Every structure is written in structure tokens, then in C-alpha cells.
Structure 1
Amino acid sequence: MATEVQWSELQRDPRGVAALADKGDVRVRRRDGASLLLIREDRAQTQSEGSIIAARALRNIAVHLSPEVAVGGVLDEFPWVECLPKSEQRQFVVDFVRAFQASAELGQWDVLAQTITEWRSTAAIYADPALAKMLTGPIDGDFGPVPAPMES
């Protein structure tokens, strides 16, 4: 749990806020933007190392599980995975574990969030049989010329 202070308090008493950060994380509230989180570098490093260890352990556990058990564990957290075909459910588990490990190694959890977003969108397509059939079926005919890319 982070201690909360206002931006003005950080400006008025930076040493006092630094002392709070020595005891734990400090959330600095700002009126004109997103809050800032102050964390000591040594604590951030420990959290990062813990994330990497957890990711490696998850990867190793997943290797030893049968695909059915792994998918079952994931279904508890992501019930929409059930909308995916069985082969896609297994691939989601593989992609999830790899993205989790990559995120932990990089310290960038956007990688995992993007993987989940993409798979959730895929599950939404499979949840609509007509849409799934249209998007996964063969493409018939010529849709005409493709316009040149636009410069940004």
C-alpha cells in the first residue's frame, strides 16, 4: 500500500517525502496529470528480480503440465478462453507464459497486456459463429486493387 501525498507537499518538503519513500512506496497526486509513484531503486530492483523468478517458475511449471491441466488453470482467470477452439486454447497458454516471461525480463508489462488483449479479441470472434466462419473461411474473388500506403 502506497502512502499518498500531494504534489505541493513534495515541493514544500522533499526530504519529508523522501523519508516516506524510505519506508515504502509514495504516490504523488497531481491535479494536472496522472499520479507519480516514488519507489526506492533497490526495492524496484528486488521487485523486478522477483517478477523474473516468478515468470521462469511459471514457464517451468507449464512445461510439466498436460495441456488440459494448463488450460484448466488459465480458464479460472480468463473464462473467455473457453470460446477458443481447443488447439487455440493450448496456444493461448503457450503465448501467455512466453509473454509473461518476456514482460518480467523487460520490466514492461505491456507485452503481456497486449497478448491478453489480442487473444480476448480472438475469443470474441470465435464467440460469434457467423463472424468466425466469415473470417476463417477461404477468400473468394478479387477485391480490386490495393491503394498505395498513405504517408503519415
Structure 2
Amino acid sequence: MVTEVQWHELQRDPKGVAALADEGDVRVRRRDGASLLLIREDRSQSAADGAVTAARALRNVLAHLPRELAARALLDEFPWVDVLPVEEQAQFALDFARAFQASAELGQWSVLDQTIREWRSTAIIHADPELAGKLAGPFDGDFGPVPAPTEV
């Protein structure tokens, strides 16, 4: 459970907010920025250790399943996986397990988020046969300069 307080409450009564953090996580709402989340360090480390253990267990479970079955196990959460070719479904399951473990061990969930975003984009391409055909090549000629990602 997350208790919510306003920034001014933290400023006015830091000991009271600290007492709330002893009981559970505290979300501090700010008007001029993103909310802050106060978590006691001992609970944070326990959560991180649990995430790493879960990631290792998931990787091992998926590694012992036939690749096609591992991909099917992820369909409830990621229904777009069904659009991918069978061999790519299996590769998604493998990439997902590796990214999950890497994210847990690094404490940076952006690794897993990036993997999911890339595979979802791949599924979008496969869902559009015309686009998939264009991207399958072959390509003739030069398509000109590619703008930097910030220019798009």
C-alpha cells in the first residue's frame, strides 16, 4: 500500500512522513514536478533481491519449456506475440527472459521496456502485410539521408 502526502506535508512534518515511510511506501505529490516515492532502504533491497530471484526463476522455467510453449505462455500478457512468425515468437520468449533478468539485476527496468517495445514494433510490421513486404526488400538505390531520431 502506498500512502500519499503533499510536498508541503513533507516540509511541514518530515518526522511524521518518515513515520509513514516506516509503515509502507509514501508518494509525495508535487505541483511542479513528478511525484517522489519514499521507500525505506531495507524494503527496497528486499524488493530488488526478490526481483532478481523471480527473473532467474522465470528464465529457468522458460529455458526448460519447448520454445513454442514458452512463447505461448506469454500470450496472455502480450497478445500481439500471436502475430509474429512461430520462430520469432520463440525468440521473443528468450529475449524477454534475458531482458527481465538483466533489468532485475541492474535495477533498470528500461532494459525490459525497450525489449518489449522493439518486439511490439516488429509485431506491428508483421500485422501489416504491405508494410512487411516493403521492408522485406530487396532494396534498390539510395533512399537519401536518414534524419537523427531527434529530427523525426
Please state whether the residue corresponding to 1:76 is helix, strand or coil.
coil
Q: Does 1:114 align with 2:114?
A: yes
Report the equivalent of 1:103.
103
In 1, Cα distance between the equivalents of 2:66 and 2:117? Answer: 25
Please state whether the residue corresponding to 2:124 is helix, strand or coil.
helix
Report the equivalent of 1:143.
142
**Is the Cα contact below 8 Å between 2:95 and 2:115 reproduced in 1?**
yes
Please state whether the residue corresponding to 2:108 is helix, strand or coil.
coil
Please state whether the residue corresponding to 1:28 is helix, strand or coil.
strand
Please state whether the residue corresponding to 1:4 is helix, strand or coil.
strand
Instruction: State the 1:144 CA deviation.
Output: 6.7
Instruction: State the 1:146 CA deviation.
Output: 5.3
Report the equivalent of 1:130.
130
In 1, Cα distance between the equivalents of 2:55 and 2:127? Answer: 30
Which ranges of structure 1 fall in alignment gaps of 5 or more residues?
none
What does the per-residue CA deviation read over 1:1-54, in whole Å, with 9 as the maximum and x for residues that have no partner? Answer: 200100000000001100110110000011111110000000000000000000
User: Which aligned pairs between 1:71-90 and structure 2 lie closer than 5 A?
Assistant: 71-90=71-90
Please state whether the residue corresponding to 1:114 is helix, strand or coil.
helix
In 1, Cα distance between the equivalents of 2:145 and 2:47? Answer: 48
Which ranges of structure 2 fall in alignment gaps of 5 or more residues?
none
Instruction: State the 1:138 CA deviation.
Output: 1.4
User: TM-score under structure 1 normalisation?
Assistant: 0.93
What does the per-residue CA deviation read over 1:60-80, in whole Å, with 9 as the maximum and x for residues that have no partner? Answer: 101110112111111111010
User: TM-score under structure 2 normalisation?
Assistant: 0.93
Moved more, 74-83 or 42-51: 74-83
In 1, Cα distance between the equivalents of 2:25 and 2:66? Answer: 40
Aligned residues: 149
Ranges of 4+ aligned residues in structure 1 off by more than 3 Å: 144-147
Cα root mean square deviation, aligned: 1.8
Report the equivalent of 2:65.
65
In 2, Cα distance between the equivalents of 1:97 and 1:46? Answer: 21
In 1, Cα distance between the equivalents of 2:46 and 2:33? Answer: 28
Judging changes above 3 Å, is the alpha-carbon distance between structure 1 residues 144 and 4 closer, same or farther for their aligned structure 2 residues? closer
